[in-house]
Amino acid sequence: MQTLLPDDGPVKPEAASIFARRILPGMVALLVIALIVAAAALIHIARRIDQDALQQSHFLVGKALQAQHDWMNRSIVDYAFWGDAYVHLNRQVDLDWAYTQANLGPSLYKDFDYEVVLVISPAGDTAYSVVRGELQTIDGFEFLHGLPQLLARAREAVEEESGVSALLWADGQPALVAAAALSTGGTDIEEDEGPASILLFVDLLDAERLAEIGEQYSIEHLRLAPDSTPTDDPRIERPLENGSTIQLTWTPAQPGRLLLWVTLPILAAVALGLGLLAWLLIRHALRSLHLLDISYARLAASRSALAESEERFRDVAEAASDWIWETDAQARLTFLSNRFRQITGHESSQWLGRPLLELLISDSAALQNWLQAPQVAPLRSSYRAADGCERFCRLAARAIHQDDKLVGYRGTASDITEETKAQARVQYLSQHDALTGLPNRSRLRDYLDQNLAALRSGSALTLLYIDLDRFKPVNDTLGHAAGDEVLIGVASRLRQHTRDGDLVARLGGDEFVVALHRMSEDTDIDRLCNRIIEAISAPFVYEDQQINIGASIGVALAPDDANQANELLRCADIALYQAKDAGRGTWRAYGREMDQRLHERLQREEALRVAIAEQQLEVYYQPRYLSQGMQIIGAEALVRWNHPERGLLLPEQFIPLAEETGLIIPLGRWVLHQACSQATRWPGDTVVSVNLSPLQLHDDRLLDEIAQALGENDLPGKRLELEVTESALLRETQGTLDQLKRIKALGVHLAVDDFGTGYSSLTSLRHYPFDVIKIDNSFVAGIGQSMEDHSIVRALIELGRGLQMRVTAEGVETEEQLRLLKDDGCTEVQGFHMSHPMPADELQRLLSQLPARD
């Protein structure tokens, strides 16, 4: 600083000379070096950009070709694994269906640019060919080089339900060819014996097509690489199916070179400008040296003010770190930091001089007490931002004293709006269902507790407990997304049928509760329940598919039925159970007798569970006879319950309960093992028949249980016959058919029980592997008095004969019925006329007294 003259004096010659001799050359040299380094870096970057662009174009070319492979693989699978295509193209090509009806004809060329479509028969003949949308006769093996290898891979790929694609020479040019063996696509269409025909799509890669594929991935002029291609042009090699290769080339982008052409002139101009700017700056620097003394003087003058400011802000920083405020002793704002405007949107100048209370939404006395407290704790408050929205903040403050006198307050305000909203959201979610937005079980409990405690004399609270019918199949077949849409729709419909002040809640799963005030009359409840059931039964639509469900409702009233939340919910749940037991799609009101019925049912269920565990059950057997000669050929296993109090119970007294509770699975398993064990002591090839419940058909362990029962007792599979009711087959699908086929593979015989009562179609019956038809006793009972029943029985016997199945008539109780059945050609009979069901030891004695059958 000693080189400066007074403010209005010139620069000393020594300072200017030192600057010119030492500093100026260094600055110029530094500038030149910087420009040279910048130019070198730019050239290096340009080369790297070109290299990266070339690598990217290599990747994109490969990606473009692979994308065509993937697209044609998906396209060929869509057509080849199509049941209709299998029917009309395999073995014998239906030209009318394929070409005239445009199922596999001109549209493939028009819509997908497949120049050639071929169908190759198992014998190697080209059974069908369409060239550029026109039906033509060509030899696929002459047209496509390397076709045999592709066909072999296509036949292997059918096991994985996929197609294959490859590059082949076609008509002197490369072509992308996709192939897939025709398949039924998982439909019920019966497959032909032997290998299937193969469908091929051909995309000729001529110059125009290659350029089009390249344009899709920003590759310029993608083409075949001739031998004369310069060596510096990029190439990519792709194998052909016959073992040879082709090479593709393209015009690579050179963004780095373009960058140099654009930036080097600019860099030169910048260098020139910097030189001029440096000259001007040097002149300005020489003139500004004398101003440094003035700057130092001003700096010294401001140090005192800076120290005071640092002390103020140090105190504030100890309290908080958001926008900073300061007031006088009357709490009028005297200072607001810049963050105040950024957070609140208000200008600081609009609030200086105004009381802090006007900014905050708070009580004046409470704010004053807070400021005057010896230990000022943080205060949560809110204010109105400039955009009109209410925001929340946490205030921290400290009193300002000078000479032991209060002169004001200073502090910080931390914005906690998002934190407050998050806490409110957590509170909301703790009380509401996340999917439907309805109050959840916790909110319902609070609501019931409050309203039940506040019930006055003569007032009532009605509770509807709603459970959706047929909802589980929606999740199982359409997925949980569809189930969620249905639940949201149910919630909306329930809101539409309730009033303000009523509560609609979701307990979880498919259970909802509606709490109603001012509704206790039976007619009003009946009207509302029927409207809710009707509303929920209306179809829902998900992805253009109709979904139909239903609802059952249980109703309980407070204080008549209960005056506690848990008890009221329990009463409504019991009523709901009665509604479902009555056939679903209806409602029931709680009554005291329901508790007794439920209690009795639970007792029966527990008693049955104990009976299975303690083997209070016994298997009886009813013999089955050949109608000609009346020889016993088998016996049906019928379970009995030796109840310790009620005596011997027949199946109709406890089997329905076992079906409802799922106990039919362990019960049926026990009967199966008992029957197989006792049948081993019967003479010859006498067959034992065991009934299968529909629930057992869904048991994953059923097949293993049957195999185990046969293996443990060394009983041949042909001596076991499993009976399935016809009505159970009506509700089943492909899974049931597959299960029955696996059982049949064990050598076990299968019988349709109660035939004629389920209205199954003849077509479905033909697909099931049954050996025996058992005519229901309801038809047999009337054949002596009703011509209609007699005609039905005759028709069923003829049906069995036509399907090459044995026919057993159940429930034969008179000599006349037996005679008519013999005359009609019924092969086997069973009923009280011949023998009642008997214990295993009695049947064994009966069988031992009979002469051996030939």
Measure the CA–CA gap between 573 and 152, rounded to whole angstroms. 64
The token pair that represents 715 in the structure block? 């009983």
pLDDT at 1: 40
Question: Which phi and psi (to 5°) does residue 50 adopt?
Answer: -65, -40
CATH topology of domain 616-849: TIM Barrel (3.20.20)
pLDDT at 686: 92
Query: Residue 450 pLDDT more than 60?
Result: yes
Percent of the chain with pLDDT strictly greater than 90: 21
pLDDT band at 7 (very low <50, low <70, confident <90, very high): very low
pLDDT tens digits for 348-388? 888 898 888 888 887 777 777 888 776 667 888 888 888 88
pLDDT at 765: 67
Query: Residue 6 pLDDT more than 50?
Result: no
The token pair that represents 755 in the structure block? 């035939």
Asked if 815 contacts 833 with a C-beta cutoff of 8 angstroms, the reply is yes
pLDDT at 849: 83
Nearby residues of 396 by Cβ (< 8 Å), 6 or more positions away: 319, 320, 376, 378, 411, 412, 413, 414
pLDDT tens digits for 653-704? 888 878 877 888 898 899 999 999 999 999 888 999 999 988 888 788 999 9
CATH number of 430-590: 3.30.70.270
Which strand (E) or helix (H) includes residue 752? strand 749-755
Query: Residue 851 pLDDT more than 80?
Result: no
Domain-wise residue ranges, the chain: 320-421, 430-590, 616-849
Mean of all residue pLDDT scores within the chain: 83
Nearby residues of 15 by Cβ (< 8 Å), 6 or more positions away: 3, 4, 289
In sequence order, the β-bridge partners of residue 781 are none
CA 769 to centroid of chain Cα atoms: 36
Query: Residue 318 pLDDT more than 50?
Result: no
pLDDT tens digits for 480-522? 899 999 999 999 999 998 888 889 999 888 999 999 987 767 7
Query: Residue 837 pLDDT more than 90?
Result: yes
Pick from 741, 797, 789: nearest CA to 772: 797
Asked if 86 contacts 185 with a C-beta cutoff of 8 angstroms, the reply is yes
- Mean pLDDT, to the nearest integer, of 729-756? 80
pLDDT at 317: 43
How many other CB atoms are found less than 10 A from the CB of residue 19? 17
pLDDT at 580: 85
Asked if 542 contacts 486 with a C-beta cutoff of 8 angstroms, the reply is yes
Measure the CA–CA gap between 679 and 663, rounded to whole angstroms. 24
Strand order in the sheet with 511-517: 503-508, 511-517, 461-469, 550-558, 587-589
pLDDT at 813: 92
pLDDT at 531: 93
Pick from 91, 164, 85, 87: nearest CA to 123: 91
Asked if 722 contacts 749 with a C-beta cutoff of 8 angstroms, the reply is yes
Prediction pTM value: 0.43
Measure the CA–CA gap between 655 and 639, rounded to whole angstroms. 9
pLDDT at 729: 67
Asked if 793 contacts 775 with a C-beta cutoff of 8 angstroms, the reply is yes
Range 320-421 classified under CATH 3.30.450.20: yes
Residue 158 carries which side chain, given as an amino acid letter?
A: V
Question: Which phi and psi (to 5°) does residue 615 adopt?
Answer: 55, 55
Measure the CA–CA gap between 737 and 750, rounded to whole angstroms. 12
SS3 assignment, position 446: helix
Asked if 379 contacts 401 with a C-beta cutoff of 8 angstroms, the reply is no
